[in-house]
């Protein structure tokens, strides 16, 4: 997502007491430090996504789990959490191309052409789970991620999804 604020920050299997904790709005640098600490210990990092840049596969408020990059390698089509090499912001977007030692990363809902370039050292981990309304979301994390990356890298994903939504409305209505 464009910029992320931590909410209900916890490890992979949060303790029931954490459900009663208030949301934490951490500054970007503190969130990055906390995420790095958790991931370096080999644990997953769970937090609420903020923003619209990964619609429809990750929505604002979805709980996402980040697994360490050394456990789940970044690659084509995977959604990664990375520190933007110029702005220093934590971003969660999809890898749309890999060239040499660089990953080209873009938000699924990004209407403008182009992508960010990141090295392996910029990537903190990969999204292993997306939970919305207490239900695990699988679309966008399985083998279809390759097609999503291809369409997104060419700027075709938004137009295709808009046409599909229009067709669905016609069939339902």
CA 96/CA 145 separation, integer angstroms: 9
pLDDT (mean) for 56-60: 94
pLDDT (mean) for 96-121: 92
Domain residue extents for the chain: 16-172
65, pLDDT greater than 50: yes
Q: Which of 23, 132, 141 is nearest to 72 (CA)?
A: 141
Distances (CA, A) of 76 to 8, 23, 132, 136, 139: 29, 33, 24, 22, 16
pTM, 2 dp: 0.85
pLDDT (mean) for 22-26: 74
Distances (CA, A) of 60 to 7, 65, 92, 144: 12, 14, 12, 21
Q: Which residue has the higher pLDDT, 35 or 10?
A: 35
Cβ neighbours of 36 (radius 10 Å): 15
Domain made up of 16-172: CATH architecture: Ribbon (2.10)
Query: Which band of pLDDT confidence, cut at 50, 70 and 90, is reported for residue 124?
Result: very high
21, pLDDT greater than 90: no
Please name the residues in contact with 40: beta carbons below 8 A apart, sequence gap of 6 or more.
Answer: 68
Strand 63-68 relative to strand 123-132, pairing:
antiparallel
């Amino acid at each position: 997502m464009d910029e992320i604020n931590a909410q209900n920050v916890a490890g992979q299997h949060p303790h029931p007491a954490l459900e009663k904790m208030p949301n934490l709005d951490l500054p970007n640098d503190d969130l990055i430090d906390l995420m790095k600490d958790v991931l370096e210990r080999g644990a997953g990092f769970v937090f609420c996504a903020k923003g619209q840049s990964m619609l429809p596969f990750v929505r604002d408020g979805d709980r996402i789990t980040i697994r360490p990059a050394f456990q789940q390698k970044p690659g084509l089509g995977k959604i990664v959490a990375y520190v933007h090499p110029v702005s220093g912001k934590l971003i969660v977007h999809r890898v749309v191309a890999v060239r040499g030692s660089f990953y080209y990363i873009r938000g699924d809902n990004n209407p403008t052409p182009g992508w960010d370039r990141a090295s392996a050292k910029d990537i903190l981990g990969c999204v292993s789970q997306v939970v919305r309304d207490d239900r695990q979301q699988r679309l966008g994390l399985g083998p279809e991620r390759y097609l999503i990356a291809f369409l997104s890298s060419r700027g075709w994903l938004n137009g295709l999804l808009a046409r599909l939504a229009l067709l669905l409305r016609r069939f339902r209505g």
